[in-house]
A and B are shown apart, each in its own frame.
Chain A
């Protein structure tokens, strides 16, 4: 049996159990399945997967949580230990299944709706059908095709025009250590109305021994003047497999900021694609990937400047230890009539071991002549002179290395507004520091003393 057939069989088994669905959904599933079957899993002969071998996924035998037997519920204590300690509107999925008892949407402000996909479909499936799949069609990759074939749960977030949500919206995907490896294909849909504003966090996290496969597809639509900050905090277990694609469609004067923070997972592949479709649209990609052991993390980003006067900025930092392997591919495409655009891109990598590996490739495709573009990629090691200088003041070696590693991530981490997120990253990247690296409080004291 081919690798693909295992997945197609799981799909048809699920189909018979699931029962009747609206025609459009059934049609999409079919299209997704057909496309997946035709494409097959990518191999390293495919340019987009040149450095990433997905055979561990293809050859896996994953069961959908919906079809798995004897799954014990996740204890609230475990869930509490995994969740981000911050005030948030919470939507929780355990191995892809909505967990109302771990969700909290009581404080939803007016003009904002946050629902599990299953409920949004039950309420008004036609309202979902118009938007879902508009940005991530089955042709994007075999994984989006697979997601389209399987998707039945996820999050639907809608912001009415002018609505501003101060509290972050946290969509968390918890992965459990199960007897049989599970798979999930969650789908996230975010529709931000004109001049609306919100922060959405997608958080992958799980039990230490979890060894599941999640295949996430997110679609984000920003109407005129909408401002959306998107965090993807990927802290999956070191045995989890994770593939995601994030697709953003931007209207006039909209602003999208992505924080793609990857700490966990054994095999991780993220694609981010933004289409800047009207002037004044701005997109910012900030990324940090930290991998050790034999972790593999691959980030592919793409910005399409489809209109004049659009702006993009990208800064990715990679930190790789042991025998970890990182991939960064950042592409910027400027269409022929997209004059007066600005696109900046940078990727810097820190190798903490001789056996760590990074493959980095910035790509610019420019078909307009009046543009301002820059890109660069660097790779280096920790500065031993600086480590000595810190130790020569009494700072222990581990702390010195941690400090310098965090300092390397500084340009990206400085942009992270949410302390709870920054702390998770700092702790993972720097190990145990004697105190918080972020000295905002201390700096304030300094400033106050200055003013005396």
Chain B
């Protein structure tokens, strides 16, 4: 469903991704791990269309379409959704409005009508309950004054409502205590099905105890240097990244 081929990306003139390739099939959960500065966050940011990243060569296709030719909102409407590492606060825009405007935009892109308000509220209520969030969050400005954990839950709440085909989660575990981690993981796991895929970027093995990946990639210095099963994450946890580097250099 997602195919990244030999992707080179520079940020402010500095090459961050140096020939990254990655294929994700429907139903799979992929984890990308790696040391700081390896380019983990860059990959999901480029796929989502964030400004400031220059793709110098390589391709990204999603369900056969050239992602790099699509506008940011087109990518989201196509089912590519990024859960932010640092969700931005949007003063004055109510959470409920973001949810409704986003859902309506995505439905409109699929040629569907707006969801009637009562159905929408029922759906939101079900999802917010699942994320163990108080419904007062709906009427607050997006992320404004939310704690770190609340912001992350809010990201997953949006995912649950928008039901992306490929959910990309950028360090969704950072700043979470164990209870919040479980709630977030439950949310992500509820998205898992045969037609959907998940791409997680993380620093820590801990998250992968809760969201068990099918494939683990090690990203070092802008390239994927090793790919394995979930056991690779455990190995990285106990042995660090050095051995992978040595192995790949050899």
Cα distance A410–B91 in the bound complex, in angstroms? 9
**A411 neighbours in B (Cβ, 8 Å):** 92
Q: How far is the CB of B153 from chain A (nearest CB, A)?
A: 16
Contact B98 A445 (CB under 8 A): no
Task: Decide: B90 and A389 in contact? CB cutoff 8 A.
Answer: yes
Of A383, A396, A446, which is within 8 A of B139 by CB?
A446
CA distance A442 to B118 in the complex (A): 9
| CB of A198 closer than 8 Å to a CB of B | no
Q: Of B51, B77, B96, B139, which one neighbours A394 at CB under 8 angstroms?
A: B77
Q: Which residues of B contact A389 (CB under 8 A)?
A: 84, 87-88, 90, 142
B135, A403: Cβ atoms closer than 8 Å:
no
**Residue on A with the closest CB to B90?**
A386
Q: Which of A404, A434, A437, A450 contacts B135 (CB 8 A)?
A: A450
User: Across the interface, do A388 and B97 meet the contact criterion of CB distance under 8 Å?
Assistant: no
Interchain nearest-CB distance for A290 vs B (Å): 16
Given contacts A394-B105, A434-B101, contact A407 B92 (CB under 8 A): yes
Interface-central residue, A392, A437, A446, by most chain B CB under 10 Å = A392
A391 touches B51 (CB 8 A): no
User: A385-B88, A393-B98, A450-B135 are known contacts. Are A445 and B118 too (CB-CB below 8 A)?
Assistant: yes
B94 at the interface (CB under 8 A from A): yes
CB distance from A419 to the nearest CB of B (A): 17
The answer on a CB contact under 8 Å between B90 and A449 is no
B93 close to A439 (CB less than 8 A): no
Given known pairs A445-B117, A449-B125, the reply for A390 and B90 (CB within 8 Å) is yes
Q: Interface extent on A, as a size class? A: 20 to 34
Taking a contact as CB atoms under 8 Å apart, the answer to whether A446 and B138 are in contact is yes
- Whether the pair A395, B71 counts as a contact (CB closer than 8 A) is no
As a 0/1 sequence over residues 425 to 452 of chain A, the CB contacts with chain B under 8 angstroms (1 = contact) are: 0000000001101010111011001100
A46 in contact (CB, < 8 A): no
B109–A392 touching, CB < 8 Å: no
The A365-421 residues at the B interface (CB cut-off 8 A) are 383-386, 388-397, 399, 403-404, 406-408, 410-411
**Closest CB in chain B relative to A148 CB, distance in Å:** 42
Bound-state Cα–Cα, A441 to B139, Å: 12
CA–CA, A392 and B101, complex, Å: 12
Binary contact track B59-92/A, C-beta < 8 Å → 1, others 0: 0000000000001110111000110100111111
A393 CA to B114 CA, complexed, in Å: 16
Residues of B within 8 Å of A, CB-based: how many? 47
The interface residues of chain A lying within 8 Å CB-to-CB of B81 are 392-393
| B102 touches A (CB below 8 Å) | yes
Q: Mark A144-174, 1 if CB is under 8 A from B, else 0.
A: 0000000000000000000000000000000
Q: Are B82 and A392 in contact (CB under 8 A)?
A: yes
Residues of A within 8 A of B104 (CB): 434-435
Contacts of B122 in A (CB 8 A): 449
Q: Is the CB of B96 within 8 A of A442?
A: yes
Chain A residue at smallest Cβ distance from B79: A394
- A449 cross-chain contacts in B, Cβ below 8 A: 121-122, 125, 135
Cβ contact within 8 Å between B84 and A394: no
Whether, in the assembled complex, B49 has its beta carbon less than 8 Å from a beta carbon of chain A, the answer is yes
Q: Do A386 and B109 touch across chains, with their CB atoms under 8 A apart?
A: no
User: Is the Cβ of A434 less than 8 Å from the Cβ of B105?
Assistant: yes
A396-B50 contact in complex given A445-B121, A450-B135, C-beta closer than 8 Å: no
- Select A408's contact among B51, B76, B92, B139, beta carbons within 8 Å: B92
Collect the chain B residues with CB atoms within 8 Å of residue A404's CB. 90, 92-93
- Give the distance in Å from the alpha carbon of A392 to the alpha carbon of B72 in the complex: 6
Report how far A399 CA is from B101 CA in the complex, Å.
9
Residues of B within 8 A of A399 (CB): 101, 105
- The one of B71, B77, B118, B158 that contacts A397, using a Cβ cutoff of 8 Å: B71
Q: Let me know if A407 and B102 touch, CB within 8 A.
A: no
A442 x B100 contact (CB < 8 A): yes
- A22 CB → nearest B CB, Å: 53
Rounded to whole angstroms, the CA-CA distance of A411 and B91 in the bound complex is 10
Q: How far is the CA of A386 from the CA of B51 in the complex (A)?
A: 12
Asked if B48 is at the interface of the complex by the 8 Å CB criterion, the answer is yes
> What residues on B are CB-neighbors of A408 within 8 Å?
92
> In the complex where A384-B51, A434-B101, A449-B135 touch, is A439 in contact with B158 (Cβ < 8 A)?
no
CB pair A407–B84 under 8 Å, yes or no, is no
Q: Do A394 and B76 have beta carbons less than 8 Å apart?
A: yes
Could you say which residues of chain B place their CB within 8 Å of the CB of A406?
92
B interface list, Cβ under 8 A from A: 48-51, 71-73, 75-77, 81-82, 84, 87-94, 96-98, 100-102, 104-106, 108-109, 114, 117-118, 120-122, 124-125, 135, 138-139, 141-142, 158, 162
Closest 3 CB pairs of A and B: A407-B92, A393-B102, A394-B76
Interchain Cβ contacts under 8 Å between A and B, 24 examples:
A384-B51, A385-B88, A386-B88, A386-B89, A388-B51, A389-B90, A391-B72, A392-B48, A392-B75, A392-B76, A394-B73, A394-B105, A395-B98, A404-B90, A404-B92, A406-B92, A407-B90, A407-B91, A410-B92, A435-B104, A442-B120, A443-B139, A449-B121, A449-B135
Chain A interface residues toward B at CB < 8 A: 383-386, 388-397, 399, 403-404, 406-408, 410-411, 434-435, 437, 439, 441-443, 445-446, 449-450
